Amino acid sequence: MIDTTIRTALAPLGIPVEPNEYEGSAQEYISFVYQELGAIHADGMPHAIRYILDLHWYLPRGKNPSAGKDRIRHLLKRAGATWPNVVNASDKEGQHYVFECEMAGAVPDMPEDPPAPETPGEPEEPDDG
């Protein structure tokens, strides 16, 4: 669910957005990872999920990132995220910005357990008479 929310939110950027690891050849792309934490606990169960999101935007050296950073922040906020903190993790390979924010989601319903297979009864003892 959260993967779809993030991909949909960032689709207007027109660049690849992939969970975990991007394996394509684009010079500009976004990959993201997140933690899922239970929240709003009652009766021993969480009633919401808190997602802690780390979104990594990679782009080539020389491209001005200012407008892109603002756009990503606003798209994430519009999708329900907290206002992202941004860390510049660029190096000699290229530009790399990490957006850190949180999102919330509903706890999925517990799937019903499949019915237990019927256990065959004990074989009857032969009647010796």
The 10s digit of each residue's pLDDT in 17-30 is 999 999 999 999 99
117 falls within a domain: no
Chain-centre distance of CA 24, in angstroms?
19
Q: Where are the beta strands (DSSP E) in 10-125?
A: 17-19, 29-42, 45-59, 85-88, 95-105
Question: DSSP state, 35?
Answer: E
Q: Total domain count for the chain? A: 1
Asked if residue 126 belongs to a domain, the reply is no
Task: Please indicate, yes or no, if residue 124 is contained in any of the structural domains.
Answer: no
Host domain of residue 37:
2-105
> Is 123 within a domain?
no
Residue 121 belongs to a domain: no
Can you give the CATH number for the domain in which 31 is found?
3.30.2000.10
pTM: 0.79
The answer to whether residue 8 sits within a structural domain is yes
Q: What is the pLDDT of residues 53-105, one digit of tens each?
A: 999 999 999 999 999 999 999 999 999 999 999 999 999 989 999 999 999 98
